[in-house]
Amino acid sequence: MTCELLKHLTEERGSNLMLGFIIRPPHQLLSLLLCPGLRIPRLSVLCAQPRLRAMAVSSSSWELPLVAVCQVTSTPDKKQNFITCAELIREAARLGACLAFLPEAFDFIARNPEETLHLSEPLGGNLLGEYTQLARECGLWLSLGGFHERGQDWEQTQKIYNCHVILNNKGSVVATYRKTHLCDVEIPGQGPMHESNSTIPGPSLESPISTPAGKIGLAICYDMRFPELSLALVQAGAEILTYPSAFGSVTGPAHWEVLLRARAIESQCYVVAAAQCGRHHEKRASYGHSMVVDPWGTVVARCSEGPGLCLARIDLNYLRRLRQHLPVFQHRRPELYGHLSHPLS
């Protein structure tokens, strides 16, 4: 199996460019590398990025944990959505990932609030059971980025939670976070979004969860507009922030990458953002551009157009060295501007 492999190690003006690679399989090899029957234009792995000389890495990048970021176009068809996601998850496992990230609303995107409520399930329902079995089958951790959850108060409220679920490689639920900032906005040219019509805001943040890739802080989509959340997560030990999303076609080009890179830089964390893409139905479309950003703010992996996945290696030694060389959390002056966030209990 051949692919274009670009390797380079250069040095100029006192800085190093780490050994990196870009893999772009030729179009005719996609059927060998990707899921049968799934139309994915390109699989890209980007790991080349500028590094300060003091932070040069001696160990091989192949030893670092590999994560997969999945991009899908959910519809109201829950069965087909699962088939698509399962193909990507199995491909992530075949490529050696230890953790796969799915976007917000991976289970479905409905046409209206009534359909959303009708299609929703409890965490103990059939759909999460299928993902539990899939995690065990693949031996893979899963970040299920936004499940339409009927909570314990469903009978009283007739509303749901937007729930980010982490499954370990045994299929056990090890963390859940219910979206705390609901997207009630009206953007000209994008159509109104009133998430609170069907959804209850979550009551609290979730402490970062240890995974094979690092300690993950959980968030969902609109949460990225609130830096206090990311600061609270990093103070609680997060090394990776996750923003599974379904950004719109107007806010996406303007804000998506800017916000993700800002959260990475200010928190000195990796940021992983799995995204919905394309047209879900006649009423809604999403921007896509799933990506991984490193703690320096460099986009180290991104998906191309359409459904697919991208891969990135997580270098926690690099993260720790960056925090050591640029110790912003030691330089904060809360006596001047107050505590913008409080550590999680």
pLDDT in tens, 285-303: 899 999 999 999 999 999 9
pLDDT on residue 338: 80
Tell me if 123 is assigned to some domain: yes
Percentage of the chain surpassing pLDDT 90? 73
Closest CA to 142 of 84, 52, 211: 211
17: burial class by Cβ within 10 Å (0-12, 13-18, 19+)?
middle
More confident residue, 212 or 283: 212
Tell me if 9 is assigned to some domain: no
CB atoms within 10 A of CB 157: 12
Residues of the domain holding 73: 63-336
Which distant-in-sequence residues (6+ apart) come within 8 Å of 310 by Cβ?
43, 44, 45, 46, 68, 69, 71, 290, 291, 292, 301, 302, 303
Closest CA to 314 of 279, 270, 281, 259: 270
What is the C-alpha to C-alpha distance for residues 123 and 177, in angstroms, rounded to an integer?
A: 12
pLDDT on residue 191: 75
What is the C-alpha to C-alpha distance for residues 206 and 199, in angstroms, rounded to an integer?
A: 18
Is the pLDDT score of 159 beyond 60? Answer: yes
Identity of residue 80: Q
* Region for 237 from its dihedrals, namely left if φ exceeds 0, alpha if ψ lies in -120 to 50, beta otherwise: left
Is the pLDDT score of 7 beyond 60? Answer: no
- The C-alpha angle 24, 220, 343, rounded to 5 degrees, equals 115
- The C-alpha angle 249, 252, 254, rounded to 5 degrees, equals 115
The residues that are catalytic are 104, 179, 221
More confident residue, 24 or 214: 214
What is the arrangement of strands in the sheet containing 99-102, beginning at the earlier edge strand? 173-178, 161-167, 141-149, 99-102, 66-71, 308-313
pLDDT on residue 282: 85
Identity of residue 234: V
Q: How many domains does the chain divide into?
A: 1
Which distant-in-sequence residues (6+ apart) come within 8 Å of 296 by Cβ?
49, 50, 264, 265, 322
What is the C-alpha to C-alpha distance for residues 193 and 245, in angstroms, rounded to an integer?
A: 14
Average confidence (pLDDT) over 257-264:
98
Is the pLDDT score of 1 beyond 60? Answer: no
What is the C-alpha to C-alpha distance for residues 132 and 167, in angstroms, rounded to an integer?
A: 7
Contact between 141 and 169 (Cβ < 8 Å): yes
Tell me if 36 is assigned to some domain: no
51: burial class by Cβ within 10 Å (0-12, 13-18, 19+)?
buried
**Beta pairing class for 99-102 and 66-71:** parallel
What is the C-alpha to C-alpha distance for residues 312 and 68, in angstroms, rounded to an integer?
A: 7
Tell me if 4 is assigned to some domain: no
Which distant-in-sequence residues (6+ apart) come within 8 Å of 66 by Cβ?
95, 96, 97, 98, 311, 312, 313, 314
pLDDT on residue 67: 98
Average confidence (pLDDT) over 84-111:
97
Chain-centre distance of CA 94, in angstroms?
A: 19
Tell me if 242 is assigned to some domain: yes
What is the C-alpha to C-alpha distance for residues 52 and 179, in angstroms, rounded to an integer?
A: 37
For residue 104, give the CATH number of its domain: 3.60.110.10
Tell me if 191 is assigned to some domain: yes
* pLDDT bracket for residue 345 (50, 70, 90): low
Tell me if 47 is assigned to some domain: no
Tell me if 324 is assigned to some domain: yes
